[in-house]
Amino acid sequence: MQKKLIAAAIAGLVAVPALAQTNVTISGHLRAGYDNYSVKDCQVLSDCRSESRFSDQSSRVIFNIVEDLGGGLKAWGQLDSRFTVDQGGQSANGAINWWAQGNTGMGLMHSSWGKVTLGHWDVYYNEFERNLGLPRAQPLQYNLGLGIMSQVATTAGGGATSTTVGTGTRTSNLLMWDSPNWNGFTGTLAYSTNPAAIANEGTGVTTAANNGNAGGGYAWTAAIRYNNGPWAAGYAHWSSESENQQEVTATGANVAAINNLRGDRIWLGYSFAMGLKLGFGYDWSRNDNAAAGALTTTNQKRSAWYLPVSYSWGPHAVYASYARAGDTSNDMGLSTGASAWNIGYDYAFSKRTSMGIYYTALSNKSGGNYNLFSNAGNGSTPVSAGGAGFTGLGADARQWYIGMAHSF
């Protein structure tokens, strides 16, 4: 009630006539803590580093707007804005405008046919988190579903890269349909003309080779889920083509680097009445990639699986999970797989406030380049200058974290 009164007061300062028809609510959460992040077992000794830091963990404020259009039809909108508790102001090291950086969109909805969204939204990559759950006050790096389960490690030309299937964040330029709930079953179907919001969309040179399409990038995703009683299960698919990958007529080589991605994932979870929750996730991903100027693409595949478990009693909860990614195919015969595990405990002071301590460890094989999700900690300096946090193959990551979360 208090949130709605505050929201109404704010809306009244901006547009008094709209109050009679539009309902505005404010929500969000604050999440931050102290952690030690380290890189170990490096091929180059100087790349092994350790850093202790305060870090924000994706704090946000969300404005939801709903207007009743009559006959069960409603117009809706959401502005999801991120900020950093540890540094204040905008998120992502100040490089990205914090306003509407998160799940932001608008559309129409009806109880009989579902919800249509046009905007910038989480799809595919967060399905494990969404359906199998996470601790209440965990850091982003704890989430193995967003880390090792969503990355494909490759060593093209001996250089370490790690590509995230499903963009690894919200998908831009998105048109999405979410179904109503049919006895526990829900579905999603979405399409994007430029999923990574690349600035040069449609500005490339058109040629006969690309049929006059200078952009050409797209992504589509679909998911079906079952969440009813103690059961959670589902399947999701992702397919995307790189933006602006036209060919040079004279040579047939591509102009820009290519990462054409495919992904399929399934999950199953069960919650026992005594507080025990078990889960399983499996991911199969493929990356057809090529450097700029290449004549052909390399087809690379990898599979990964994930086992989360938790037990809660009263205000207490303990957590553990394990994930393993297999070697990537067609990668110079190197061992590019990795494994990761974590444990955690948190305590709920109330339904909205909790505090916890967590440990996560990731171990790469000799040719692997996996990393914990968002190792920069949303506002803190990465341990290493490498693009994925490591500057050499086979390095490992460790993190201790103690933090607090409050939802409003």
Domains of the chain by residue range: 29-57+116-407
Q: Is the pLDDT of residue 365 over 60?
A: yes
CA dihedral 155, 381, 198, 336 (to 10 degrees): 20
d(CA 80, CA 102): 5
Amino acid at 333: G
Across 203-337, the runs of DSSP E, i.e. the strands, are 218-228, 231-241, 258-271, 276-290, 298-313, 316-325
User: In this predicted structure, what is the pLDDT of residue 209?
Assistant: 44
- Which segments of 92-142 does DSSP mark as H helices, in order? 127-132
DSSP3 helix / strand / coil % (the chain, rounded to 5):
10, 50, 40
Question: Which range is least confidently modeled, 36-45, 67-76, 349-358, 375-384?
Answer: 375-384
Confidence of residue 45 (pLDDT cuts 50, 70, 90): low
353-364 and 396-407 beta bridge pairing? antiparallel
d(CA 113, CA 197): 29
Confidence of residue 208 (pLDDT cuts 50, 70, 90): very low
Q: What is the mean pLDDT of residues 324-328?
A: 93
Question: Which range is least confidently modeled, 4-18, 22-36, 277-291?
Answer: 4-18
Cα angle 237, 160, 57 (rounded to 5 degrees) comes to 65
Kindly report the average pLDDT of the chain as a whole number: 81
d(CA 12, CA 163): 46
User: In this predicted structure, what is the pLDDT of residue 168?
Assistant: 66
Most confident of 148-152, 167-171, 175-179, 392-396: 175-179
Q: What is the mean pLDDT of residues 10-33?
A: 71
Q: What is the mean pLDDT of residues 320-344?
A: 90
User: In this predicted structure, what is the pLDDT of residue 373?
Assistant: 83
Domain formed by 29-57+116-407, architecture: Beta Barrel (2.40)
Confidence of residue 214 (pLDDT cuts 50, 70, 90): very low
Give φ, ψ of 332 to 5 degrees. 60, 20
Question: Can you say whether the dihedral through the CA atoms of 331, 333, 334, 338 is positive or negative?
Answer: positive
Q: Is the pLDDT of residue 191 over 90?
A: yes
User: In this predicted structure, what is the pLDDT of residue 294?
Assistant: 64
Burial letters 30-65, b for 16+ CB under 10 A, else e: bbbbebebbbeebeeeebbbeeebbbbbbbbbbbeb
Q: Is the pLDDT of residue 380 over 50?
A: no
For 229-250, write each residue's pLDDT tens digit: 999 999 999 998 876 555 555 5
Cβ(328)–Cβ(297) below 8 Å: no
Q: Is the pLDDT of residue 338 over 90?
A: yes
Cβ(136)–Cβ(406) below 8 Å: no
